[in-house]
Amino acid sequence: MACTTLAAKLSSACTSGIAKLRDPIPLKQIIAQSLCRKVTYTVLENFSTTTNASSYATTNSYQPAANTLVLAICDVTKTTQPLSVPTFSGNGLTWDLINTIQMTNGGLLPHRISIFRAMGAAPTLTVGTLNNGADACTGAFITMVQVSNTDTTGTNGSGAIVQTAGNAPAAGINATVNFAQDPCGGVIVAIGDMFNQLSTIIPPLGYTVLAANSIASPTAATAIIATDFPDSKNVISTTLSTVWATIGVEIKVKS
């Protein structure tokens, strides 16, 4: 049974009985969120490089668990725009793009953050490879995150993805992840910064930092934060006068 359906029934039962404790809407939300606190995150690989290349492979091999959602969270840098939309491969799985956003500082030093998903019955032990086509890139980040206890329907992890959102505003304007609907399952957010100021970000209440990377030339950084108990559709808002890009993904828990 879906968590929201069960939450609605429990909320109705509580509020129509003798002990009417509170307004049914907040109680429904609290119950729904509590029932959805199930996903767990495991970082399988965290890679960064300043090598000039058009494709990048992780340093270490890794093997995701069978029938478990795995995400490839990537950021590439370049001296001139635009940056092509990359592809990802590895582990004998088919990787589908969830979302991708490019950020740039007045047309200079563009970055592109992308999140891919995969799931399969028999993943193999391999490196992960990010391919940027003909682009001559100047650096990359690749973070592999396994998410357990998710929905396993659909193909290549499609049933585990509820919604995605993000943006890359002009310099000095907050970059936000504002979902269309309040998330009920887990939420994972990729944050990219062109000027390596991620150390000043405090994750929102309930979020933990899964991974962080930075490189000096070109100056860039990424961070991955996640929670299993989201309390708002407005996940994060940066406040520094820098160039940001953010992508958030809501993950559906197993019924």
| Pair (27, 140) in one structural domain | no
| Pair (135, 176) in one structural domain | yes
| Pair (41, 24) in one structural domain | no
Answering whether pTM is above 0.85, one says: no
Parts of the chain with a pLDDT under 70:
1-37, 105-109, 169-175, 194-202, 217-218, 231-243
| Pair (8, 86) in one structural domain | no
Q: Which domain holds residue 228?
A: 36-251
| Pair (5, 114) in one structural domain | no
- The whole-number pLDDT of residue 14 equals 32
- The whole-number pLDDT of residue 105 equals 67
- The whole-number pLDDT of residue 157 equals 97
Q: Provide long-range contacts, Cβ within 8 A and 24+ apart, for 5-8.
A: 6/31, 6/35, 7/31, 7/32, 7/35
What is the DSSP secondary-structure string of 174-196? --EEE-SS---SEEEEEEEETT-
| Pair (81, 189) in one structural domain | yes
| Pair (24, 125) in one structural domain | no
- The whole-number pLDDT of residue 183 equals 85
- The whole-number pLDDT of residue 243 equals 62
| Pair (106, 229) in one structural domain | yes
| Pair (24, 150) in one structural domain | no
Q: 74 near 85, Cβ under 8 Å? A: no
Specify the number of domains making up the chain.
2
- The whole-number pLDDT of residue 88 equals 98
Q: Across the chain, what does the average pLDDT equal?
A: 79
| Other CB atoms within 10 Å distance of the CB of residue 189 | 24
Give the E-state strand segments of the chain in sequence order. Answer: 40-49, 55-57, 69-77, 87-89, 96-105, 108-118, 129-131, 139-148, 161-167, 176-178, 186-193, 208-216, 219-227, 234-237, 244-251
- The whole-number pLDDT of residue 89 equals 98
| Pair (178, 154) in one structural domain | yes
| Pair (180, 79) in one structural domain | yes
| Pair (108, 26) in one structural domain | no
